Amino acid sequence: MPPLLSAALISMALAAAPAHAARLLTAAMQAQMDAAALSPQAQQMVRLALEGGDAQGLPFAVVDKQDARLLVFRADGRLAGASPALLGLARGDRLDPNVGQMVATGIPPALRTTPSGRYDSQPGRNLKGELVVWVDYDAAFAIHRLRPAPASERRAERLASPSPDDNRISLGCVIVTGEFFDQVVRPVLGEGPGVVYVLPEPPLPGEPPVALNAVLPQRLVTGGL
């Protein structure tokens, strides 16, 4: 399988990042990632964030859609925690430009994606006053705690399931347990700006792998929309 991030993309990120922002991935950090069983794609993204300087010294998170996990890292590169996560109901790496306006009236199932790319995150409050981490405010795309939902959706059971295959249920947001949000997400990403990387969808059988640089490359390198 070809590498997730192309050499050209890594070179562009290195050129764009301030030299002082780069951090070496230490043996202890690598041991943390190995112990948490991070996928090769997630580990490569962490290396770009740290050694490529793309995270610019900020705390960051990686959303691994293949494993349905949220990985949260402190500004110094240490892994703060890893957790199963609920993701958007629909497969897809792109965001409908009007999805943020559909929240009040209902987002069609086909548009309930968790879009891939690089995002500059900020903590904030939703319309109910709940603390969230905004990934894309205009699109109402956030990381938040598990909320009450119709029993038929079985959200708590999906989070507790050992398989990532049943974690597709949200409107597009990344949802974790209240305990993980309070103990990991809030103290790391909930105190100021951060960076969130959402990896592309895993390929379906017979499909070629999708390189992250093929999905919104400017967002990955510059944080632009």
Q: What is the pTM of this model?
A: 0.81
Which amino acid does the sequence have at 200? P
Q: Is 49 a residue whose pLDDT tops 60? A: yes
As for how many domains the chain has, the answer is 1
Residue 2 lies in a domain: no
Structure confidence at residue 158 (pLDDT): 92
Structure confidence at residue 46 (pLDDT): 92
Q: Which of 166, 212, 187 is nearest to 63 (CA)?
A: 212
Question: Is the separation of the CB atoms in 134 and 123 below 8 Å?
Answer: yes
Q: Which residues contact 217 (CB under 8 A, 6 or more apart)?
A: 9
- First-residue to last-residue Cα distance in the chain: 28
pLDDT band at 16 (very low <50, low <70, confident <90, very high): very low
Residue 150 lies in a domain: yes
> Domain of 92: which CATH number?
2.40.440.10
Of residues 93 and 176, more confidence is placed in 176
Q: The domain containing residue 122 runs over which residues? A: 7-222
Residue 1 lies in a domain: no
pLDDT band at 210 (very low <50, low <70, confident <90, very high): low
Q: Which residues pair with residue 120 across a beta bridge?
A: 195
